[in-house]
Amino acid sequence: MTRMKFVLRRTQGPLDGCIAFHPDGNYASHTLQITINGDDEYQGGRLCFYSPDAGLHIPPRPSGTVTVHPRHQLHGVTRLISGKRYSLFVVDRHNGLGEKDSVWTRTSLIS
């Protein structure tokens, strides 16, 4: 059984760069992301997918949108120009996402 973790990410623009296209490494099986606020609340910061057969896909992501992709899927994020972007990720425990500036708790403390 794969152990999962939840990571809440807050990103504030403007940022200098983007997250370049990449597949996730062997630390991931899949990545699930839930938008907390919609893409109409910030400028830029768009999640992009690419595949040779389908080309570039930039899905609209209103608040509450769930996206899931396998580790081999090429994906990236455009530069966040302005605003705040909030996302909740569900990832494999060994995924490095959320390791910096993290607060850890025990399941028994959450009810």
pLDDT at 73 over 60: yes
Return d(Cα 84, Cα 3) in angstroms, integer: 29
**pLDDT tens string 38-68:** 999 999 999 999 999 999 999 999 999 999 9
103: nearest Cα among 7, 37, 11: 7
